[in-house]
A and B are shown apart, each in its own frame.
Chain A
Amino acid sequence: MAVVAGRTSATGVRGAPNILLRLWRNKDTRSVILQVLTMALLFAFLAYIINNAVLNLAVLGKTFSFDFLGFPASYDINQRLIEYTSQSTHFRAMLVGILNTALVAFFGIITATIVGFLFGIIRLSNNWIASHIVYCIIEFTRNVPVLLHILLIHGIIVHVLPSPRQAHTLADSIFLSNRGLTIPDPIFGEGFSYTVIAFFVAVGIIVTFYRWARKARDERGKIYPVFWISVGILFGLPFLVFLLSGSPLGWEVPTLGRFNLKGGITMIPEFLALWLALSLYTSVFIAEIVRAGILAISKGQWEASQAVGLQRNRILQLVIIPQALRVIIPPLTSQYLNLTKNSSLAIAIGYMDIVATIGGISMMQTGKEMESMILVLSIYLCFSLVISAFMNWYNQRIKLVER
């Protein structure tokens, strides 16, 4: 080794600059050199940041550990989908936060999609008034920051709606006040399981019927009203079983306690405000995406479909929408991700999501800033990756089969 090194250094005094220069001038090796340099710089930067964090923690005398997740949280949470008390652990508090984020994201995405598709289609309609009203709604909503929408809706609920004693009520069972929307809580009696079984049976029947109707269409050209028959089976069968088994379902109707409505299920104003604001804000972007998707299909497709004698709704269903979805799905995924991430604005109105629980109170009470923030970042990353994975799978499925 030493001999080799000595020889190269003896001859390389003159040769070395030339070799480097030659390597640099060669297109392939240059790109390798640049990539190596880039990676080196990237790692140096990462090392610098991690080192900085480690040193500063050491200087403050802090340790890096996730042990605190096992300690009692000692605070209460107003909206919890799982059992939780102030004696539960910080980990449990984090789970409550994750579920609260998931809840608002789930309902937000569904509402935003339905409203967005409606808006998008109305925007394209020939009805001048309808189309322009929606145009105004879209322009107003998407040009105001989402945080303001959240604060506005929360403000309206809290300041405009009456207190629980004077709550707006529907049939004395649904109440709307500045403490939220309270609805009766269903109590499932004995025998309700038959209805649940009937529901799944109905789903099975629908799938079989759908396959059969499709076959009938392909073989005999006979078209059945699949949609309406399916809806009929889906609701009719479980309802029939429900009646036959003696209506085993009761309702716990909310009553007025000393301070609040007691019993029932309450959607707190913070949830309502966040859900409505996120849905509205995201739906107008979805409306524009839907409009773009439909307009992207060339007029020739409409004309060709009409030429073979298809009705308007069949054209939409069979020709336009399948092609438009190709354009709609990828940007739609981004909107779903945005909605989920925007839900972190919950902190502004005190909705107990991930940021407010583990990234807020737990972090504050334990002083574990670094650990908590790493957890919050990872959880949002997981949420986003799950949504992306699902949407990518769906996109793959509806992709046009190209020949």
Chain B
Amino acid sequence: MRIIISLVAAFFMASAANAGTLEDVKARGVLNCIVNTGLPGFSYTDKSGRWKGFDADMCRSLAAAVVGDGEKVKFIPATGKTRFTLLNSKEGDVIFRNTTWTFVRDVDVKLTFLPTTYYDGQGFIIRKSKGVKSAKELDGATVCIQTGTTTELNLADYFRANKISYKPVPIESNEEARKNYLADRCDTYTTDASGLAATRATFDKPDDHLILPEIISKEPLGPVVRHGDDQWADIVRWTVYALIAAEEDGITAANVDKMAMDKSNPNVSRMLGSEGNLGGMLGLDKAWAKRAIKAQGNYAEIFERNVGLKTPVGLARGLNALYTNGGLQYSPPFR
């Protein structure tokens, strides 16, 4: 009996070892990427069923770097509540799902948070006809929230701090929240300001709705991986930095091949693999960053194509501009 148990234990010891996400992904040939079930501009499916958006494109860049093809991604849609369970049970390799980096999640839920891809904050949307100009006037209002998110906690804190009351209506997904808000089940809907803008873009009459001026929290959104696999965390971290560095150095999807040949800028040459072997240190090949940039473009291209001012979502770069333009996006050096 004891032999059986120890055999079983040994078997599980071997298979449950947490390192080796890279080997798993390479062997599978497909990146399993956890995304939002539907948030316009960030991750949603278009009419032909193709996943689109800021987060979905980041998944493709990562897949291009790791398995060599930006289309080798299996998208795993998750609600606010299921995302970490899906990650920890190894259903997914990485979360690109507008996930806020917080102390408890980082330290106690045993997740590893990687560079913030979108600096956000929580806001409120309300019908103009309600005549509200500030979130402080929301005393007694019914508020729709996505359950299992940080916004739920911020909301409780904000109303408590301002000594006003509210009635929460917890909802599973952004799409359900949108329906309930439009049916006037709740007076106001609260989530990340980017999500509000994205959701408002889908309304029939977006101009009838107002996003209140108060931003009540800091929401640094970025990719998440499991604790304990440092190699895999490094790969995701530096792939994101490669996209930001590409914007800094003016590398785009269109000119990345030319830039790789041109050896005049040593920074660019190192990153794109024409000098040294940074990719080898990650356990990838030399051209990893080149493929990542070529797949979906640099950070600016991904941003502008999905959520930028020319899209229906219409977000300005704001905090997400490069540090040289007064934003917070900054890549450590590739050397």
Contacts and interface: CB of A to CB of B under 8 A. Distances in A.
A37 to B, nearest CB: 12
Contacts of B139: 258
Task: Select the residue from B84, B184, B227 with max chain A CB neighbours within 10 A.
Answer: B184
Contact of A361 (B18, B110, B148, B171): B148
Interface in B114-170: 130, 137-142, 147-148, 152-153, 155-157, 159-160, 166-170
Given A47-B8, A361-B147, A178 B183 contact: yes
Interface stretch (B9-17, B40-48, B49-57, B264-272): B9-17
B95 to A, nearest CB: 14
Interface residues of B: mostly helix, strand, loop or mixed? mixed
Task: Select the residue from B81, B88, B140, B170 with max chain A CB neighbours within 10 A.
Answer: B170
Interface stretch (A9-17, A50-58, A185-193, A294-302): A50-58
B85 interface: yes
A399 interface: no
A312 interface: no
Nearest to A262: B140
A259 B185 contact: no
A200 B61 CA distance: 74
Interface in A336-380: 347-348, 350, 352, 356, 360-361, 363-367, 369
A86 B155 CA distance: 10
Contacts of B160: 85-87
Contact of A259 (B108, B142, B227): B142
A392 interface: no
Given A60-B18, A60-B227, A44 B183 contact: no
Contact of A51 (B12, B142, B226): B12
B113 to A, nearest CB: 13
A43 B171 CA distance: 41
A357 to B, nearest CB: 10
Interface in A45-69: 47-48, 51-52, 55-56, 59-62
B161 to A, nearest CB: 11
B155 A76 contact: yes
B156 A86 contact: yes
B109 interface: yes
A48 B16 CA distance: 13
Interface in B78-119: 80-81, 84-85, 88, 104-105, 108-110
B284 to A, nearest CB: 25
A59 B18 contact: yes
A365 B183 contact: no
Interface residues of A, number: 46
B24 interface: no
B217 interface: no
A254 to B, nearest CB: 12
A158 interface: yes
B134 to A, nearest CB: 13
Nearest to B141: A259
A40 interface: yes
Nearest to A52: B12
A230 B85 CA distance: 58
Interface in A252-306: 257-260, 262, 269-270
Task: Select the residue from A76, A78, A361 with max chain B CB neighbours within 10 A.
Answer: A76
A163 interface: yes
Interface in B7-35: 8-9, 12-13, 16-18
Contacts of B8: 44, 47-48, 51
A75 interface: yes
B210 to A, nearest CB: 15
Contacts of B152: 75, 361
Contacts of B274: none
B250 interface: no
Given A75-B152, A76-B156, A259-B141, A350 B147 contact: yes
Nearest to A348: B172
B81 A364 contact: yes
Interface in A111-137: none
Nearest to A43: B1
Contacts of B109: 366-367
Contact of A366 (B104, B147, B185): B104
B283 interface: no
A77 interface: yes
Given A44-B4, A76-B168, A367 B105 contact: yes
A92 interface: no
A259 to B, nearest CB: 4
A74 interface: yes
Given A60-B18, A361-B148, A86 B157 contact: yes
Contact of A260 (B108, B140, B156, B159): B140
A253 B228 CA distance: 59
A217 interface: no
Interface in A150-184: 158-159, 163, 178-179
A158 B227 CA distance: 42
10 contacts: A44-B1, A47-B8, A260-B140, A260-B187, A350-B147, A361-B81, A361-B147, A364-B147, A365-B104, A367-B109
Interface of B: 1, 4-5, 8-9, 12-13, 16-18, 80-81, 84-85, 88, 104-105, 108-110, 130, 137-142, 147-148, 152-153, 155-157, 159-160, 166-172, 180, 183-185, 187, 226-228
Given A59-B18, A367-B109, 19 more contacts: A43-B1, A44-B1, A44-B5, A51-B5, A59-B16, A60-B110, A61-B228, A74-B156, A76-B155, A87-B160, A178-B184, A179-B185, A258-B139, A259-B187, A270-B169, A356-B147, A361-B147, A366-B108, A369-B88
Give the 5 A-B CB pairs with smallest separation, nearest first.
Answer: A367-B109, A86-B156, A364-B148, A259-B141, A350-B170
